Amino acid sequence: MRYAGNWMTAVDDRILEYLSEHESGSPTKMKREGPIRYSRQQVHRRCKKLAENGLVKDLGNGVYMITDDGEAYLDGRLDTENWTYIDDDSHAVEPQDPTNGETSNGGAS
C-alpha cells in the first residue's frame, strides 16, 4: 500500500514506477516508452514537483532519476503526506500526538 500525499497526482506513481525500472528518463522518453497517458508537458510539470519534494532528482537537461525516498514511497515505506517512514510492522515511525502535534516518545518530558 502506498501513502500518497494530497499534493500527489495519479501520474506521479507512473513516473516513479518508470524511473524505478530504468536508471533515468526524460518526460519525452517516459511518454514514448512508459505506460503514461498524460502529455509530455504534464509529465514535465510533475517531474519538477516530484524533484521539489525529493522523490526524484533532476540530473539536468530534462533528465530525472528516482531517489531513495521515491523508492521508499513506491515500496509503501514512506508516507508523503506527513513525511514519515513506515516501519516493518506497518506503524509510522515516531508517530505524532494528535492533541498537540509533538512527537510521541512514550516517556516524560
10-82: CATH topology is: Arc Repressor Mutant, subunit A (1.10.10)
| Rounded CA separation 49/102 (Å) | 28
| Rounded CA separation 15/101 (Å) | 32
Which residues are paired to 1 by β-bridges? none
Q: What is the 3-state secondary structure (H, E, C) of 71-104?
A: HHHHCCCEECCCCEEECCCCCECCCECCCCCCEC
- Residue by residue, pLDDT tens for the chain (109 residues) are 999 999 999 999 999 999 999 989 999 999 998 778 899 999 999 999 999 999 999 999 999 999 999 999 999 999 999 989 987 554 444 434 434 444 444 444 3
Domain ranges, ordered by start, for the chain: 10-82
| Rounded CA separation 56/64 (Å) | 6
